[in-house]
Amino acid sequence: MESIIKVAVIGLGHLGKHHVNHFTKINGAKLVGVYDINPKTSEKISKQYNTIPFKSVSELIEKVDAVSIVTPTGKHRTIAEKCIEKGKHVFIEKPITETVEEADILINLANEKNKIIQVGHIERLNPALMPLSNHDLNPKFVEVQRLAPYMERGSDIPVVLDLMIHDIDLVLSIISSPVKHIESTGVSIMTSSVDIANARISFENGATANLTSSRVAKDRVRKLKIFQQDLYITVDFLIGLTEIYKAMDADQKDPSAIMTAPLESNGKNRQIFYEKPIIPKTDALKMELENFIKSIKGEESPIVDGLAGRNALKIAIEIQNKILEDLNI
């Protein structure tokens, strides 16, 4: 008989409601309740999904095996620590905490209690990235753009910690090397916080990543480009388009690719092959939460564990602090 993980959602804002919806549909999970700082919100959502509106986090903890924390970042450490202390697994929306020190406290506690921390860096599960698993990645240069029109929601958070942190996590997952050096710059336009930021991250293996994030752009842009020896990959997350260009010896055949141009290199006849993989339609958040449930059961490992979330936060904070120093803020 399949074991059932009893789970609850803490924080019922825009994203928290999606967590609630998905947990009602995930095999092996049972949504036993919800909690929000606004009791009316808890009542409304609990009626909609036929579950329990808990009156406090402490009451909720006693009834579950795991929790999904979808609150403002400033509440993450306190809530997660209370849950882990009581032996509960936690899913925490990004960023994991406000500070690296807080993240370390949670990670150490989870290790001590043998509990899972998973962090909601949802971009790792973007379907446009799935074809990359078929290639041996060893990038020399990675470029990422994440631009968005201005929205009041989330404008109190620096763009580095709101938008760029997604791409920091992606870059750290693609480039398997310690960070060597970081340069960054940014400006405030619409808010008192940083609205546009650029960071250049150098790695010990010689790779470089250039990241740009903006929340005052005219149009939404979310693009990733990967450059390495004999391989160029471009990903457009918004339209779900992945394009792969490979330089191969002329006598090699790739049935999934189309030859686009002949060339000569080091005395060899070579060809450039073009591939446009079919991108599957998936729900990244549902897959993320399914991975959380399966990780609790020991069937999988967290796609983004506490340490990965902590490492992305560390780089994001360093980028943000360098920008603030330059702006004399």
Quote the pLDDT of residue 251.
67
Q: Which pLDDT belongs to residue 222?
A: 96
Nearest to 241 by CA among 329, 70, 127: 127
**In this predicted model, which residue has the larger pLDDT, 178 or 263?**
178
Q: Which of 83, 120, 169 is nearest to 287 (CA)?
A: 120
What is the amino acid identity at position 274?
Y
pLDDT category of residue 248 using cuts at 50, 70 and 90: confident
Residue 199 has pLDDT above 80, yes or no: yes
| pLDDT of 137 | 95
Q: What is the pLDDT averaged over residues 112-120?
A: 98
pLDDT category of residue 158 using cuts at 50, 70 and 90: confident
Q: Which CATH number fits domain 124-282+315-327: 3.40.50.2300, 3.30.1240.10, 3.30.460.20, 3.30.360.10?
A: 3.30.360.10
Q: Quote the pLDDT of residue 155.
A: 55
CATH 3.40.50.720 segments of the chain: 5-121+284-299
- What confidence category does residue 256 fall into, taking pLDDT thresholds of 50, 70 and 90? low
Q: What is the pLDDT of residue 193?
A: 79
Measure the CA–CA gap between 9 and 23, rounded to whole angstroms.
9
**Residue 154 pLDDT exceeds 60:** no
- In this prediction, residue 131 carries a pLDDT of 93
Identify which of 289, 284, 304, 303 has the alpha carbon closest to the alpha carbon of residue 31.
Answer: 289
Q: What's the CA gap between 177 and 207, in Å, rounded?
A: 8
pLDDT of residue 268 exceeding 70, the answer is no
Residues paired with residue 35 on neighbouring β-strands, in sequence order: 10
**How is domain 5-121+284-299 classified at the CATH fold level?**
Rossmann fold (3.40.50)
Residue 74 has pLDDT above 60, yes or no: yes
Structure confidence at residue 273 as a pLDDT band (50, 70, 90): confident
Q: Which residue's structure tokens are 């009626």? A: 47
Q: Is 101 helix (H, G, I), strand (E, B) or coil?
A: helix
Amino acid 267: pLDDT: 54
Q: Which residues pair with 29 in a beta bridge?
A: 5
Distance of CA 197 to the CA centre of its chain: 18
The fraction of the chain above a pLDDT of 90, given in percent, is 79
Q: CA–CA separation, 30 vs 27, rounded Å?
A: 8
* Helix, strand and coil percent figures for the chain, each rounded to 5: 35, 30, 35
Query: What's the pLDDT tens digit per position in 40-66?
Result: 999 999 999 999 999 999 999 999 999
State percent of the chain over pLDDT 70: 91
Give this prediction's pTM. 0.92
- What residue spans in the chain does CATH classification 3.30.360.10 cover? 124-282+315-327
Residue 94: predicted pLDDT: 95
pLDDT of residue 1 exceeding 60: no
Strand partners, 10: 35, 69
Q: What are phi and psi of 281, to 5 degrees?
A: -90, 115
